[in-house]
């Protein structure tokens, strides 16, 4: 028997015609299934098929298994997709993952510097290329959707997500939305504003997050309340969303935080009236992880209220992510008793289907192995190394009256390398690497530590001695020419990174005081934000902010030994004491240790033109 012609299956039909045709064929159960996003750990062929689930994600701790290869990822994604395609209408599912600094949750992927470093690089072309490389690595694992970029404007470094923000300055954050062109491809000139765009199988759907004001919470406390007047909201926190929408961003994620006491997950005026109606955003509005549960105190105290408020506010896809039957049952009951209109459900499903058609999921639902070699490719590692070089900020170079210390000589020296962060890949990658909270040590993924990078940069005749926390006797009894000290903070993500002290990890201060009194020293700070450094500034000869550089530590050595000039500029104010916070450029009480935009340069040493980084 010949298959009945269905417009939604005809790729020659316009997207909106296909969406309308498919929507008209769906029952309530299928529609609510599309609005449901579940975690990998609760997904299966049968779950996808039986509940018509629309989307699956990998949370920060849910890989198929430790050290899963690209092939393992593809097999897992395809298994769920087969379940989705086995449903009555065969609607493919959309798989998403947090690829916020490269595809960092996947073993041996290229891990780029976190956003705070890319903000210091201030290079829109670089960020676009990083977006393209990330898209290829995400697609290499069979995934078509990345929960990036974070376009938060972090106004207080005490916030545990500050490293996910490019800058305290909304203009820099706006410029960095060029990463969307890298992730998704560039939407055609003259395309209708607000319509999502994804340019084929080498690109992924992007997600601007977290809407809106997440970087402005009181005292930088994650997920808490942002007290912001309308002028400040539209001047500081909103502009990057306008840029993201004009670039065709496919999805926008809602913030856990509240705005002037109102939970963003329930904010009808901003989600529906402003984002959907005024800005004409036509993509998917997605919740954050367990975002509905967190609308009440304690969590999940009144789930019916949370579902009602969030769906009414205009959320389309709900990152449940575990207890999906409760969400499905709750929403079904709310629709059946007319608390939520069919029109609202249809708006949500229309947007979800639109993005799926635009991505090309109906034509190419199954992941293939054609891009497996893109994961951790040499070209991407080289790009990450370039990003490290451009993101480093030189804050001090030589004590008053002395010659500059940097660049260091590669030859004829005995160098002491010290500090907690000199030989620790996990520390230099930060959170959202392999696991939600990151990792420690050198075994969880591939990469180059700063110590190894130093060893491969200096001449064979130069002796490199590594001691994490050397005693004073050791320092004075060896004939070191100078020391490189690498210190900073532990990896963290989200609320686990909230800090009221912003102190460096012990014994960092002791290492600095032990070494810098006896030796010429350069201190490299590995951190997701400025840390307290004023007490040590006079004792150090040179100071470099390296942020969270990722897997390519060689980029740090490139700079210390003068193969490239320092060009990075602070995208955040470096405070003197935490008592000054919040303090941003333009504030009346502005008295920083290093101001926004500060960054010294060095001269290139003995470089031929062919080597220079144009």
List the catalytic residues: 288, 494
- From the CB of residue 326, how many other CB atoms can be counted at a distance below 10 Å? 14
Joined tokens for residue 599? 């960054």
Radius of gyration of the chain (CA): 25
How far, rounded to the nearest angstrom, does the alpha carbon of residue 19 sit from its chain's CA centroid?
Answer: 31
And the tokens for 610? 């062919």
- Considering only CA atoms, which of 439, 452, 534 is closest in space to residue 491? 439
Distances (CA, A) of 581 to 9, 160, 589: 56, 14, 10
CA distance 102 to 139: 12
Q: Is 39 helix (H, G, I), strand (E, B) or coil?
A: strand
Residue 278 CB burial class (10 angstroms; 0-12, 13-18, ≥19): exposed
Is residue 252 helix, strand or coil?
A: strand
The residues, ordered by sequence, that sit 6+ positions from 19 with a Cβ below 8 Å of its Cβ are 8, 350, 353, 354, 357
Interhelix angle for 378-391 vs 124-140, to 10°?
150
Burial of 477 (0-12, 13-18, 19+ CB in 10 A): exposed
Residue 321: cis peptide before it, omega within 30 degrees of 0: yes
DSSP letters, 318-353, are: EE--S-HHHHHHHHHHHHHTTSS-HHHHHHHHHHHH
């Amino acid at each position: 028997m010949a298959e009945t012609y269905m417009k939604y299956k005809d790729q020659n039909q316009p997207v909106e015609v296909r969406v309308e045709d498919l929507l008209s064929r769906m029952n309530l159960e299928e529609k609510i299934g599309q609005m449901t996003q579940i975690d990998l750990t609760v997904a299966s062929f049968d779950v996808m098929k039986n509940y018509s689930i629309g989307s699956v994600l990998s949370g920060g701790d849910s890989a198929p298994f430790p050290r899963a290869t690209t092939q393992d990822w593809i097999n897992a994604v395809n298994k769920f997709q087969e379940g989705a395609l086995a449903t009555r209408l065969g609607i493919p599912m959309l798989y998403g993952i947090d690829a916020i600094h490269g595809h960092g949750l996947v073993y041996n992927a290229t891990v780029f510097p976190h956003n705070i470093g890319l903000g210091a690089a201030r290079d829109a072309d670089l960020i676009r290329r990083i977006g393209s490389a990330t898209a290829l690595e995400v697609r290499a694992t069979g995934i078509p959707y990345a929960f990036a970029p974070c376009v938060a404007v972090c106004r207080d470094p005490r916030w545990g997500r500050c490293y996910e923000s490019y800058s305290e300055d909304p203009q820099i954050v706006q410029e960095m939305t060029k990463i969307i062109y890298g992730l998704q491809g560039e939407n055609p000139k003259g395309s209708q504003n607000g319509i999502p765009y994804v340019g084929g199988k080498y690109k992924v759907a992007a997600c601007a997050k977290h809407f809106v004001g997440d970087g402005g919470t009181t005292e930088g406390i994650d997920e808490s309340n942002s007290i912001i007047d309308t002028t400040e909201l539209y001047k500081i926190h909103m502009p990057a969303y306008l840029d993201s929408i004009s670039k065709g961003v496919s999805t926008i994620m809602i913030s856990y935080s509240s705005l002037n006491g109102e939970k963003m997950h329930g904010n009808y005026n901003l989600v529906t009236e402003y984002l959907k109606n005024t800005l004409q955003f036509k993509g998917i509005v997605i919740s954050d992880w367990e975002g509905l549960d967190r609308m009440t105190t304690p969590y999940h105290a009144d789930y019916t209220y949370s579902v009602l408020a969030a769906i009414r506010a205009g959320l389309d896809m709900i990152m449940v992510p575990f207890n999906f039957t409760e969400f499905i049952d709750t929403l079904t009951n709310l629709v059946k008793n007319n608390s939520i209109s069919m029109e609202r459900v249809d708006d949500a499903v229309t947007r979800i289907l639109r993005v799926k058609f635009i991505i090309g999921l109906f034509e190419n639902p199954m992941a293939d192995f054609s891009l497996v070699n893109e994961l951790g490719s040499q070209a991407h590692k080289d790009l990450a190394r370039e990003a490290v070089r451009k993101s480093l900020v030189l804050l001090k170079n030589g004590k008053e009256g002395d010659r500059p210390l940097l660049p260091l000589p590669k030859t004829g020296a005995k160098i002491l390398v010290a500090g907690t962060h000199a030989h620790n890949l996990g520390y230099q990658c930060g959170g959202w690497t392999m696991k939600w909270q990151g990792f420690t040590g050198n075994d969880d993924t591939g990469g180059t530590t700063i110590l190894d990078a130093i060893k491969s940069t200096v001449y064979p005749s130069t002796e490199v001695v590594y001691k994490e926390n050397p005693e004073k006797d050791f320092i004075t009894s060896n004939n070191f020419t100078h020391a490189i000290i690498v210190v900073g903070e532990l990896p963290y993500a989200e609320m686990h990174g909230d800090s009221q002290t912003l102190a460096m990890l012990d014994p960092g201060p002791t290492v600095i005081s032990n070494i810098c009194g006896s030796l010429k020293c350069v201190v490299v700070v590995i951190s997701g934000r400025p840390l307290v450094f004023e007490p040590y500034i006079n004792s150090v000869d040179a100071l470099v902010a390296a942020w969270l550089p990722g897997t390519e530590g060689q980029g740090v050595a490139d700079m210390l030994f003068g193969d490239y000039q320092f060009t990075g500029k602070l995208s955040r104010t470096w405070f003197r004491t935490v008592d000054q916070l919040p303090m941003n450029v333009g504030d009346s009480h502005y008295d920083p240790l290093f101001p926004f935009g500060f960054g010294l340069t060095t001269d290139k040493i003995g470089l031929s033109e062919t080597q220079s980084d144009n």
